[in-house]
Every structure is written in C-alpha cells, then in structure tokens.
Amino acid sequence: MAWGLLPLLGLLLACGGGRALVPPSELKQLSAAGSKYIDTEVENAINGVKQMKTLMDRSSKEHQAILHTLEETKRRKEEAVQLAREKEQELAARQEVCNETMLALWEECKPCLKQTCMRFYSRTCRSGSGLVGRQLEEFLNHSSPFSIWVNGERIDSLLERDQRQEKQLEDLEERFGLLEDGVDDIFQDSTQVYGRMYPFFRAPFGAFREAFRPPVQRVRLSPPGARFSRELHPFFHHPHHGFHQLFQPLFEMTQRLLEEAQEHPWGGFASESRNFSDDRMVCREIRRNSAGCLRMRDECEKCREILSVDCGQTDAAQQQLREQLEDALRLADRFTRRYDDLLGAFQAEMLNTTSLLDQLNRQFGWVSRLANLTQGTDGFLQVTTVLSKAPNLEDPSAPADTQVTVQLFDSEPLSLTVPGDIPWDDPRFMELVAEQALRHYKQNTIE
C-alpha cells in the first residue's frame, strides 16, 4: 500500500510545480548563511540609528544656544518697551504745554476719528460694531491729544507680537521635545537589539557603549503640562509619519503671520498709511484694542493738525522726550524683528534636520522594531523549503527557477524565487534570498 502512495506523492509534487532540491540536513547551513547576511544588515542599520542620535544630539546643543540668544533678545526687547512706557508717561504728564491749542484740535479730531473708524469697521467686519463703538468712545474720552503724538497703539502692537512669539516658541518647544524623545525611543530600542546580538560589545562596535549612556538632562522653556503625550511617540516608528511633519505645518503658519505683519508696518510719529489688504487682521486689532483706530488719524484734517503743532518751541524737554520715546520704540521693534528672525531660523533648521532624520529613519529605523524580538539559536533567518519550480515552457532548455520558503524575524513565512542559473550551493544564492526577504520585511514595516 505504501509503495502505491509514492507515485501519487510524486504526481502531487509535479502538479505543485516543484521538487525538493535540498535535504533537510542542509537547510540549517543555508539558514546560517542567510542569517550572516541579515546580521550584517542589522549592524549597518544600528550604525545608521546611531547617526540619527548623533545628529539629534548636535541639534540639541544648537537648540540650547538658540534658546539662550532668544532669552537675551527678549530681555533687551522688554527693557526697550519699558523705557518707551516711561517716556510715554512723562509726555502725558507734560500735556499742559500747548494744551489750549491741542485740546481744541482734539475735540474736533475725536468725532472724525470715531466716525472714520466705525464706518470702516461696519463696512468691513462681520459683527460687534456696537460694542466696538462703545469701547472706542470710552477710549477717546479718556485719552488726550498726546495719543496722536505718542502713537500708543505701537506699544500695544509690540505686546501683542510678544504674546504671539511666546506662543510660537511654546509650540516649537513642544515639537522639539517630541522630536528628541522620538529619536531617543528609536535609539534605545536599537540598543536593545545590539545588546542581545553582542552582549560583550565586541569590536568594531565597542565605542557604541558610550552612546548608550542616559541622555543629558535638557532645559525646557514650555511648561511641563504643555508637552505632547508620550503615547504619540510610536508615531515616529512609522516612516510615513515623519519627523518633518512636526515642523512643516508650524513653519507655514509662521510664514503667513510674518507676511501679515509686513502688511502692517509700524511708522514713526508721522501719520501711517493704512494697509487693509488683510481686513480680518484690522478687524481683530480694532476689537482687541481701540487704540488701533488711531492708525486712521491721517484721514482726519484736525488729527493731522495736532501732529503739526510744535511744542518744542515752548518746551524743549518735551521734544527730547518724544525723541527718546521714538528711539525706544525703534529699539523694541528691532529686537522684536530679531526675535522673529531667530524663531524663523530655528524652524528652518528644524525642517532641514527632520528631513535628514526622516531619510535615515526610512533607511535604518526598521531595526528598532526588533527590540522585543527574541533571536533564535539558528539566527534571524530560517529556510524551511527549497524547491525546483516547473521548467519554463517557453525555454525548456533554461534551468528551472528555485522557490525558497523562509521566515525572517517574526514575520509570516515568505516564498521567494531565485533564478535557475544560480544553484543553491552557490554563496550568492542565500545572499540573494536574504536580500529579498529583508527588502520585503522593510516594505511591510513601512506599510
């Protein structure tokens, strides 16, 4: 009965298109040869992850230097704003000089200024004109003609930009912290793989031990509660969800804000030309700060006449105060722009750095997924079958291709094809098998 089954078994193998080429005793040797190739690729990938860590460490040092420069720039900007406030108060305290002339002009300036501002607001902005009108009237009633000279909305604009910059820096710090932690996670997982493969840190990777030391404690400017959740960190193990995406949207938003700021430049004490190319920003400014209506003073004749009153003829100290105030505002403006430039340079650097990190991660980051994998005694690659496929009917004289079934790491068994002109005992055979298996594993990791 058993003898009768052999022809049937042969028929089944033929119908399946293959016959065994390698006896089971040789499969272990093929597995060892393939695992040797995989070991080399794992080593290369671990070194690639080390490059990611080195790049991140260098970026962290540069980041600390940028934070120091930002803090110094902010301190000098705040000093300039404080000086401007002091000069503004001193000017307001001297308003009795030229009082009679300017008060008369101011009483005629106020209704025109209110009407001009409210006409623009009602025509351009969607809602809230009633509330804005009451706020503006209260503001004008409590202001003096020196509001036209002092140009107080410039200080308010500086403070608003300061708040925006602070929020922008917090966002950058959150993203930079997540970037550091994401790279650290990939690196630490890779060290686990290396530690299991080479527990004694044999050469030439002995220097790798230094890189395993805990990272240096980093300084954060953003509050601890503002940090992103650590649950998002596996996000970076997926090459489609790149580090670059942390900073690209923020960079684009910042570019839009800078363009808006350029559309509303600060002038001197002379009248400013209005730029309403972005009506939404103007509406927002007026809602938040009634002093924004002072930007429209050049459209009212009596308001312009206030600017032409020269109190310096009767009070030289007042003219000096105006010049000091103007100098302080220019200095604050310069440091504000410097701060924006630093933030922009930091974001641009992060775009370049994360782009390179993404490239390295796509090429080498797959190795971190092996952190929880237990390596078998026979290596990472196991060959289960080597079969000869059916001959090519178009060219019967050509050697039949070989079908090899392998299992790499913890993946499902994979069937691969090797050209028939490469025999199974050729060293290139298992190198080609291992290369195909690893390529397939990486593709599945990315997907």
Phi, psi of 381 (to 5 degrees): -110, 130
pLDDT reading at 289 higher than 50:
yes
pLDDT tens digits for range 160-186? 788 889 988 998 999 899 999 999 999
Rank 57-71, 75-89, 146-160, 410-424 by mean pLDDT and report only the highest.
57-71
Other Cβ atoms closer than 10 A to 424? 17
**Cβ atoms of residues 31 and 376 within 8 Å:** no
Best CA proximity match to 416, nearest among 443, 381, 372, 386: 386
**For range 215-236, the mean pLDDT:** 40
For residues 220 and 155, give the distance between their C-alpha atoms in angstroms, rounded to a whole number. 29
For residues 358 and 6, give the distance between their C-alpha atoms in angstroms, rounded to a whole number. 56
**What is the radius of gyration, based on Cα positions, of the chain?**
36
- Compute the Cα dihedral for 246, 249, 255, 258 and give only its sign: negative
Give the pLDDT score at 23. Answer: 81
pTM: 0.68
**For range 335-359, the mean pLDDT:** 91
**pLDDT band at residue 153, thresholds of 50, 70 and 90?**
low
